[in-house]
Amino acid sequence: MTAQDQGARRSGGRQAQRAERREAILEAAMELIAERGYRRTSLAAVAERAGLTQQGLLHHFPTKELLLVAVLEARDRWDLASSAASAAGSWRTGTLAQLVDYNATRPGIVQTYTVLSADSVTEDHPARAFFESRFRAVREAMAAVLRAEFGETLPGGLTPERAAPLLVAVMDGLQLQWLLDPQDVDMPAAFRDFVALLGRGGD
């Protein structure tokens, strides 16, 4: 093996280690935010749970605001995929139902998202701009999903753009109810019931 090959291997190993540490930090931050809320989660607490020093954490995320955005992006990676899939016309309400099924297997991440989205309504919250932008993009993506399945007019007479906020509200509202009462609220089944209502319209 040449010196160049050895250097490349060491560089690849360092990159992999850095990625692992970053993921550990994000996981720890998600857990703590879900438990305490964003404002009561300190960088020191995140570092401790991730098994790092605070200085080690700051090497990856120099500020708490940058860490928060990274947590949100980690939770929301599916959104980028959904936008691409919707543009290609490949997403349907059945695909969204599968996403709801998947979310039902990861309550901690869903809880983190729910806590942060609720907190972000305050004007000084560092995630407010993120969620404003996110919800605009999600509404557009949901309108594309509905248009691909129902055309320009849904059975109930709504346009995809008018129905999209309702679809988003159902998904997020069901998450909240499911987190509070998982025994009585079957989130995947309830979402499929809503999709069935969309299909029946006013019948």
pLDDT digits (tens, 9 = 90+) for 98-120: 889 988 988 877 888 888 888 88
Q: How many CB atoms lie within 10 A of CB 196?
A: 10
d(CA 57, CA 62): 8
d(CA 191, CA 197): 10
Range name among 37-46, 89-98, 117-126 with the lowest pLDDT average: 89-98
- Let me know the angle formed at the C-alpha of 16 by 11 and 20, rounded to the nearest 5 degrees: 145
**What mean pLDDT is predicted for residues 75-96?**
62
**What mean pLDDT is predicted for residues 32-49?**
88
* pLDDT tens digit sequence for 178-199: 999 999 999 999 999 999 988 7
Across the chain, mean pLDDT equals: 84
